Structure 1
């Protein structure tokens, strides 16, 4: 063996160490060949490497900023519907339809939506209706508060006060009070009493608490609006809009650094030069494609419910945390498909809340095809305290599938139409043409298009959780 030098390493070991930390003169990469002179990058390599770095960061920005872009797009959709302040509340009277683009809404309950602007109004009050399920999320789509049954009023109705970032004024008694890191906040309302109960909601500035103006309720069901974020360059413009409006402190330093690396910085115009714009235009569709893979074919074992069925809350955390680590793919998976984040969704309890499952595959492992007909056999005694439902969605828009037969592409046990078999089970059909005599158990699909669905259990019971009752697979019948 060679003599050891004063570092404690032998000559051979030192040579191996130098080799392990050195860069070859030529490095193959997906972005082109990288060339060096004794570790120094040649001029053409500098340009290639920075183009590659900007492309990678742009893809990461897309995947990590989907929650924020989603709410910017939602606000833009509400503005197109004439909802410009929290004085106006959009409602789906009586239910959501396929006429608008929303991420995976259900067609079984009435929604109410609006946006708080705490910069314009300052501290703001929401009077939640009784027996409701209401949520407030901040503009980065992080959970702020539950109101109603899952909130501190426990469904009795209550007054909630939301304070803007940095607020140091008086905080009056008599409210359930929350501080939020963003000025804009997303409000989603659901009332078990339907539209009449929904219209008991009141939203107004705290300064007008003694005599607030009436709220205006605008029906969204018949409006063709888009609330879904972009999958092209304009995605980055949506994110830049958010960053300009909100305090720097509203976002963690890591994601803020990713945004800054591609020119999205609070207080500075987002104006990429031709080189960077070209990179962003390339990055968005690549990132959107990756997001679709994460959403429709998640690889985390915790995303598997059983068989081909998947769940949307990997690890059961509304913050997408497991063992102290942020589950980045899980966050993208959920927000690319859905809106509204609350612990009540991630931690459904026996008899309360709702549980979800989805698949894009049939029993043979093939992708669901709108030209084919499938049967889903739902075993007897579905474990739902309230009811169950299957809503069908467009795989491109993740919105309700547009079909000629109905604006409600769904089948549900509470609609009074679905027919049970003699043993209490159900046979549901999905395809371009209804099987004869099964029209009430059928959802139309579109030839030439794929589709997916969410199976929702409202008030899931113990057999859902211990899996003594399981969903079957979609069986092709043609």
Structure 2
């Protein structure tokens, strides 16, 4: 009994210390490390008591490391399962449409309320290759269940020489109506070469594929044309009969498409593993999964004690991922690249790694490998998938006039975290380099879903909201619980919310030259005052 109590008490320090940032907590963590380092040995072997402590520690550390590695997979699986509840399952012919724009009642990581979203998960296990008839004018992408972009046609003008994930505006069709052939893992591109003049061919690592459609509207009060454009899509098997398309309007249905940060995180991971092809690109992490009980074809049955450890590992992994996101502006290194988007405005960070003066090609590829070293950018991938989803080459690299670029802010101009009890202003200079639209969205720091805004239906403001301009054609936006004194600014330029903490994304759709060469730089969030 004494041995078991000691093992559990040493392990418990892991989360108890992380519950506080006080000096006592830091001291407790130091004591924990010292205790582990000084565990009793009998010659070259751990004593019986030390063995159990080390076994628990090994299980915990592997599970915590696995949390960060598996974030892209669990993020994708949670989205699929959340939408399966909205559509009575997922299938190649089922598409969920946020017909009235995506609202804060839909819990998804950093959704964009300024386009019409549509999502589907296409399953090729029984059908084999699928055909997508993609309408003109959409900006879409396809990722596999590992959150890797599908491999498309070769193109020497593309970074890496190949389209990765993008179809539609940033794809090989350049936004024109086109047909795409999607191949499951057991099919090879060369076997379908005779169809290359009829279809753009994309290859997937998994039999299920995430299809993500974005349709644009010009008039905030008339979304119907954008919704109808989505409904022109057709998906059907290359061979055999086809089911009719089914579209589900889901804007007004509260939903949860984010994961749980307890032992259920690993249950979600297990369901993903059981349902998809196990990749060979990372056999070590496949082994780590197996070490905590997750292995394809094997039932995952953790004991109650293991569930307790998995819960603490998930909570710790989540907190580590949030620290990485909050301080992503500080994660730069001479060996890996920069994390900020603009050196002159360092609180704005990029989705991947960058080189100053060259936003045309990110140092991270869509698999989050450093293009110079081929290392995995571990902080960048954790930052990405704890707070965001979906990836393609067009999201990371220059697509002037097509695609989209994003920057995130977790801190104000003084590099202090954004908090809901304070009021902030943000200046957007004139001539924003976005041919389609630009917007700024506020997100809850804990869930990464949109904040609940009291004076606006959606948690974003942008050019199509017709904000009041300054005399130099710049725009000043306001965020926080207290309205600006000017009534017009309060009506058109202010988002009212009172979250504990929050962060923001600025989006540029149809990005232009000045965004990539650094000649246009936005302002940073400036604290006005705090009300608590």
TM-score (norm 1): 0.89
Q: How does 1:29-68 map to 2 (within 5 A)?
A: 29=34, 31=36, 33-68=38-73
Q: How does 1:305-454 map to 2 (within 5 A)?
A: 305=341, 306=343, 307-315=346-354, 316=362, 317-322=365-370, 323-415=373-465, 417-435=466-484, 436-438=487-489, 439-446=491-498, 449-454=500-505
Q: Secondary structure at the match of 2:505?
A: strand
The answer to whether the 8 A contact 1:355-1:457 is kept is yes
The answer to whether the 8 A contact 1:123-1:163 is kept is yes
The answer to whether the 8 A contact 1:83-1:89 is kept is no
The answer to whether the 8 A contact 2:293-2:301 is kept is yes
Q: 2:327 aligns with which of 277, 293, 297?
A: 297
Q: Distance in 1 between matches of 2:243 and 2:46?
A: 65
Q: 1:198 aligns with which of 226, 230, 245?
A: 230
Query: Mean alpha-carbon deviation: is it higher for 333-342 or for 372-381?
Result: 372-381
Q: 1:286 aligns with which of 316, 319, 323?
A: 316
Q: Secondary structure at the match of 2:323?
A: helix
Q: Distance in 2 between matches of 1:421 and 1:459?
A: 24
Q: Does the alignment pair 1:127 with 2:157? A: no
Q: Does the alignment pair 1:222 with 2:252? A: yes
Number of equivalent positions = 448
Alpha-carbon displacement from aligned partner over 1:123-165 (angstroms, at most 9, x marks no partner) = 2221111122111111111110322122222222222122222
Q: Distance in 1 between matches of 2:278 and 2:102?
A: 36
Going from structure 1 to structure 2, the CA distance change for 1:227 and 1:402 (only over 3 Å counts) comes to same
Alpha-carbon displacement from aligned partner over 1:197-253 (angstroms, at most 9, x marks no partner) = 1111011222346xx343111112111011112211100001000111122346521
Q: 1:238 aligns with which of 268, 271, 278?
A: 268
Q: Does the alignment pair 1:99 with 2:105? A: yes
Q: Secondary structure at the match of 2:488?
A: coil
Q: Distance in 2 between matches of 1:271 and 1:326?
A: 31
Q: How does 1:244-263 map to 2 (within 5 A)?
A: 244-249=274-279, 252-263=282-293
TM-score (norm 2): 0.80
Query: Which segments of 5 or more consecutive residues in structure 1 lack a partner in the other structure?
Result: 1-26
Query: Which segments of 5 or more consecutive residues in structure 2 lack a partner in the other structure?
Result: 1-31, 151-164, 217-224, 333-337, 355-361
The answer to whether the 8 A contact 2:170-2:399 is kept is no
Q: Secondary structure at the match of 1:238?
A: helix
Alpha-carbon displacement from aligned partner over 1:434-474 (angstroms, at most 9, x marks no partner) = 3222110111121x521111011222222222222212121
Going from structure 1 to structure 2, the CA distance change for 1:29 and 1:405 (only over 3 Å counts) comes to same
Q: CA deviation at 1:277?
A: 2.3
Query: Mean alpha-carbon deviation: is it higher for 132-141 or for 310-319?
Result: 310-319
Q: Does the alignment pair 1:115 with 2:121? A: yes
Q: Distance in 2 between matches of 1:394 and 1:477?
A: 20
Query: Which protein shows a greater Rg?
Result: 1
Query: Mean alpha-carbon deviation: is it higher for 110-119 or for 74-83?
Result: 74-83
Q: CA deviation at 1:269?
A: 0.5
**RMSD value over aligned CA atoms?**
2.0
Alpha-carbon displacement from aligned partner over 1:51-101 (angstroms, at most 9, x marks no partner) = 111111101110000010011111111111025222110111131111110
The answer to whether the 8 A contact 1:130-1:191 is kept is no
Alpha-carbon displacement from aligned partner over 1:366-424 (angstroms, at most 9, x marks no partner) = 22221222111122222222221101111111011112323301111023x21111211
Q: Distance in 2 between matches of 1:377 and 1:153?
A: 36
Which residue matches 1:459? 510
Q: Secondary structure at the match of 2:271?
A: helix
Q: Distance in 2 between matches of 1:414 and 1:160?
A: 32
Which residue matches 1:7? none
Which residue matches 2:148? 142
Q: Secondary structure at the match of 1:223?
A: coil
Which residue matches 1:74? 79
The answer to whether the 8 A contact 2:339-2:349 is kept is yes
The answer to whether the 8 A contact 2:87-2:96 is kept is no
